[in-house]
Structure 1
Amino acid sequence: MKCISTFFAGLAVAASTVVACSAAEPSPADGTDDGAAITQRAPTFRNPVRGGVADPWMFQRDGYYYLTYTAVDRIILVRAKSVTGLASAQAVTVWQDSTPGRGKNIWAPEFHFLNGRWYVYYTADGEGAVHQMFVLESQGSDPMGPYSFKSRLATQNDFSIDGTVLKMPNQKLYFVWSGHLRGPQSLFIASMSNPWTLDSAPVLLSSPTAGWERHGNGREHPVNEGPEALYSGNRTFLVFSASGCETPDYALGMLEYKGGNVLDPRSWSKTPWPVFARSDANWVFGPGHNSFFTSPDGKELWNAYHAVTSSDGRPYGSCGGDRTLRIDKMNFDANGSPIFGVASATWTDLKLPSGDRGR
């Protein structure tokens, strides 16, 4: 079998391989080529897809996959036509800011296409070195930019991170983020009058009250963060990350909108357990801070997330640069409920997203 392999090594992670296989070699029983058609084998990839990735945000646009992640001092985009190309694709800087109060410790950028423009939501050191939420606006429809600074979002002043946009069926926009407000790190929501302006006070949406939301820091580290919208038919979900990122038990939980006032926490229900968690058998620890992207032909939805792959036999989590990008296909039951399944095994051949030709 002819294969093209791209090798990469994430920080403190054993080298892994992304493999694009073309066609199986002929192997007739008598050892000769009898002219029979060569059996085609679908291209494959392996997790982890790219090393050194924390807080991945992926989307698919005009035949390309786009990936951004925490780069600390800038906002970057990686672009490739196939998942197999993401390992070695160049990270292009689309924004860097020397303005005091918004250019340091940049975390978890997200790109949202709204009203014909791209809006980039990101976290950076704000007033008093406390993280705040900011937004950029593109000049046109190209996700590569150029961009201009638009606004700081009026979330609470005490630590606001991991902001995302929720679009309800009536097209009304809401902003959801993680922060502190006289309590543990929780999820907050506010309505938006446009992509850069909040027009309601912050509302506490979800707090880390269950045991699976409180792992880390030796004993307890209650956290809800990294909210992401997920839509299935007429159902709306918010998937979020729970517990401290330093623990292997960092995991994904989920809220579902049940009807009524979107800003009323009683309109949402939380799963009583994680929907996606560590898999010791598959060497996947601390899976979280995810995003969702469609396959090139639009037929499949995929889950992109970071995780740690132990190379020394000891399960661990991480809040650092040794996290890696992994992707797994999403499924849904007959009622439209998301099925995350189990994190796929490390360094195992997996079928590429539908419509991805592996080039």
Structure 2
Amino acid sequence: MSSVEEFRTEIRGWLAANLTGAFADLRGRGGPGREHEAFAERLAWERHMAAEGWTCVGWPEEHGGRGATIEQQVAFHEEYALADAPARVNHIGEQLLGPTLVAFGTPGQRARFLPPIVAAEELWCQGYSEPDAGSDLANVRTRAERDDGGDWVITGQKTWTSLAHDAQWCFVVARTEAGSTRHAGLSYLLVPLDQPGVEIRPIQQLTGTCEFNEVFFDGARTEAEHIVGAPGDGWRIAMATLGFERGVSTLGQQVGFRRELEALIGLARRNGAADDPLIRDRLARAWTGLETIRCNALRMLDGVAAGAPGPEASIGKIFWATWHRELGELAMSVLGAGGTVAAGEPGEPYDLDDWQRLFLFSRSDTIYAGSNEIQRNIIAERVLGLPKEVRP
């Protein structure tokens, strides 16, 4: 038996033995559009995983991880998804910030911030998007200035900040050089959220849930040493973080997509929608699309092995985001007219079923983590070598 097979067997057995008792009801809970589900219980599960050594498996051992190979990490994320284990609440710290600090952080930053991520004791959110700088991150206006003591004072607004209302820290891209524009003059700051000068306002979505937030900084502060990289080097660090976001955990995501597609095929067979040749054709195209998504994800692993996925990872992001949005549209076609009616009494908050929630929330897949338009620009400029987009 190979080491990867042994690793897969180990995590499969551990999940089977531990997703029981108080944790048994967490199967299938949480995830995009459903982050509100059993959050406290999922956090307890995350800390149980940490105590057993199953968080941050891909991190180097000297930073609290298992030093798992790329192949072992793929096995972990696939088995986790196959077990229908609950969505992770520490994803942003474990998959985004942690690898960024391993690659670019100082020894002091690693010693301060990595252990609480491994233990799931401190949760993080990502302070990138702004009202006028969504996918166009280079348009950031949030600014940070040094005070007399050298600490950073931050003023500005971030939006669409996932799970900020549950996080203790935020990594913030801010403009630290007066008069700078676009990619220049940005810095990558680690900012505590529980302090005066920080206001978090949840944004209610079409799904009725509030996992995104607006975050206002009005003189919020962070220590001088809480800057990753040099002042003005924030763009490079931020792009590296986005690269880590396209990492091996996407292989587990594919398992979830396959489960959704198989359930939709089953529904189409039960309610007769599969008798429609157009529906059958769309289901078949969804299946072939899912196979393409997996091929893209596997191809991207070469970049992960080199340290972080390159700009070609944008190909995978466009494909899976568009596929998942279209799956939501296909679900509505399978449901028929009845799918447009939400449960609940008139005048009361509506309640969505899983397919309605999929349809509504997947509209955001082609926007968050870099919109399709921005991903196409990345592919054109950095992969194909085409001229940069003309800007006014």
Higher relative contact order (CA 8 A, sep 6+): 1
Task: Bin the TM-score by the shorter chain.
Answer: under 0.3
Between Structure 1 and Structure 2, the one with more strand by share is 1
TM-score (norm 2): 0.24
Between Structure 1 and Structure 2, the one with more helix by share is 2
